Structure 1
């Protein structure tokens, strides 16, 4: 089966297309892709939906390597709201 493994940053990305055995898992795909960014991965997703490393893959699946958040979403919202208040 064919799967794709992707990791992205703001201005670039790396992508590997793989041919794996039937029954392969997300962890198998990540290992086979050998992208070398293990320290930067905070989780995995398949087409934007969180998946576990033991999740089985199907032909045509895409595994996305998720990076850690750079800013807490709640804090970012507070900053935006504060900037809008002072701008009025």
Structure 2
């Protein structure tokens, strides 16, 4: 019988954040932890098999297993390319400086 370990699953939107604590058998995959957590009840847009995830801000894979105390973070898709946004901010700052 597998030992139970404590983990957390978190997801957030600008207006709503949820952190769920649960116990899972040691050796459970990140994907299965997401399913077991029930976070999809709070955020139906999450598709566990396609989620982009990390453990304590470090990107990880759905098929990897969790360890005692891990916090699985489910990331939202980017709405804009970060490089493009930096470029636009730099151009805007340059224009403001010249005015």
In the superposition, the TM-score normalised over structure 1's length comes to 0.90
Bigger radius of gyration, 1 or 2? Answer: 2
- Measure the CA separation in 2 of the matches of 1:11 and 1:38: 16
Q: Which residue number corresponds to residue 49 of structure 1?
A: 58
Whether 1:17 and 2:26 are equivalent positions in the alignment is no
Return 5+ residue gaps in structure 2 as ranges. none
Q: TM-score by structure 2 length?
A: 0.81
Residue 81 of structure 1: how far off its partner (Å):
0.7
Runs of 4+ deviating beyond 3 Å: none
Aligned length: 87
- Secondary structure, aligned partner of 1:58: coil
Partner-residue secondary structure (3-state), 1:38: coil
Structure 1: gaps (5+ residues):
none
